[in-house]
Amino acid sequence: MNTSSISDNILDWYDNNKRDLPWRKPRSKEQSHYFTLVSEVMLQQTQVKTVIPYFKRFINEIPNMSILANINEKKLLKLWEGLGYYSRARNLKKIAKLISKNKNNLLPNSIIELKKLPGIGEYTSRAILALEFNEKVIPLDGNIERLIKRVLLIKNKKDLEKKNLMSKVNYFGFAIRQRDYVQALMELGALVCKPIEPLCHQCPITHNCNSFRKSDFTIKKKLKTNKIKYFKADIYFNNNKMLLIKNQKFKFLKNLLIFPMNEIKEYDFKTSIKKKTKIKMSNMDMKIIINKNNKMPNKEGRLINLKNANNKVIPSFTKKLLRLALSEK
């Protein structure tokens, strides 16, 4: 196997097919570090097409590390509204505070130091090392993971474990232009080696691909089973006003506004005739009864007028429950 020919072919393809993404257009080293940090954090568990408009708006409002370090948290979360996983936004501000103490506003070039930053794990630290310091590492995102599974036709359960995939990804080798090579691998997975119906006729490495050779494109995944939990959401709504409380129940919506909710038993959920919904979170599958009530209770909380809702930080989770409660179906 000649890894240099693999990297050369993939880079040639990338130079002719790469997408015009806003975080690939920095005007300085400092801006490059900032763009990479913001985009990589936004792209954690979020698709590129979703991130693009958020990134543009975020950079327009918060153009550098120093401003991010001192941004009002309410404004920060408002800019993040709709992306979900709000802890990412809070972590970005914490990182900016730490980094802005340096005169150059640059990220550390050590994986150990990068992992000390809030919310930065194995993948993001490796991505930063490759994209900003041209280090010969390959971060294992979903697109690159799919590439290596297909090229090597990985089906064995043990080989599918993350630590083993991390070692197998070195099959692709490295390149002098490592920052471009990593982005090329990501692009190839996103645009050509798609989860369903891969575009093999456009792929520059079909001659290296065992899946192509054997016409077997199914992707084996290590199945993750989320715990199912049942809740009743009390949607108090009257005269265009809704009662919301500050969330202390769920980590993924920490301190954000939600409707009062209580965990219930599976039997109570299944036997209820009220409107229901399902919301899949990263750590659990939520099954929720929508309990609409026009009578406001004597509960602590905040009355929010719908007319002023755009000025508040209200997560998509809360907005979805409200839409369901107000819909006729």
Q: Could you read off the pLDDT of 179-215 as tens digits, one per residue?
A: 999 999 999 999 999 999 999 999 999 999 999 999 9
In percent, how much of the chain has pLDDT > 70?
97
* Beta pairing partners, 132: none
Give residue 133's pLDDT. Answer: 96
Helix-helix angle 122-133:178-191, to 10 degrees: 120
Q: Domains (ranges, CATH) in the chain? A: 3-214 (1.10.340.30), 227-326 (3.90.79.10)
| Nearest-angstrom CA–CA distance, 141 and 228 | 27
Are 261 and 243 in contact, with CB atoms under 8 Å apart? no
Q: Is the pLDDT of residue 314 over 60?
A: yes
Pairing mode, if any, of strands 284-293 and 227-238?
A: parallel
| Nearest-angstrom CA–CA distance, 89 and 83 | 10
Contacts of 286 (CB under 8 A, 6+ apart): 229, 230, 231, 278, 279, 280
Tokens standing for residue 328: 């006729």
Catalytic residue among 30, 40, 81, 132: 40
Give residue 305's pLDDT. Answer: 86
- Which range has the worst mean pLDDT, 46-50, 166-170, 324-328? 324-328
Pairing mode, if any, of strands 241-246 and 257-258?
A: antiparallel
What's the whole-number mean pLDDT along residues 230-234? 95
Tokens standing for residue 329: 């179906």
In percent, how much of the chain has pLDDT > 90?
67
Q: Is the pLDDT of residue 95 over 90?
A: yes
pLDDT in tens, 260-283: 999 999 999 999 999 999 998 877
The band of 295, judged by pLDDT with boundaries at 50, 70 and 90, is confident
- The mean pLDDT value of the chain amounts to 91
The band of 1, judged by pLDDT with boundaries at 50, 70 and 90, is low
Of 115, 119, 99, give the one whose Cα is nearest residue 107: 99
Measured from the Cβ of residue 160, the count of other Cβ atoms closer than 10 Å reads: 17
Tokens standing for residue 247: 């969330």
Tokens standing for residue 77: 């979360």
Give residue 163's pLDDT. Answer: 86
Q: Is the pLDDT of residue 221 over 80?
A: no
Give residue 97's pLDDT. Answer: 95
In the residue annotation, 122 being an active-site residue is answered as no
Q: Is the pLDDT of residue 17 over 70?
A: yes
Q: Is the pLDDT of residue 176 over 80?
A: yes
Given phi > 0 = left and psi -120 to 50 = alpha, else beta, which region is 173? left
Give residue 281's pLDDT. Answer: 80
CA 314 to chain centre: 19
The maximal CA–CA distance of the chain, rounded, in angstroms, is 72
Annotate 141-164 with DSSP letters as a single string: -HHHHHHHHHHTT---TTTTSHHH
The band of 223, judged by pLDDT with boundaries at 50, 70 and 90, is low
Q: Is the pLDDT of residue 2 over 70?
A: no
pLDDT in tens, 111-162: 999 999 999 999 999 999 999 999 999 999 999 999 999 999 998 888 888 8
The band of 3, judged by pLDDT with boundaries at 50, 70 and 90, is low
What's the whole-number mean pLDDT along residues 101-114? 89
Q: For residue 210, give Cα distances in angstroms to 1, 58, 141.
A: 13, 42, 20
Helix-helix angle 29-42:87-99, to 10 degrees: 160
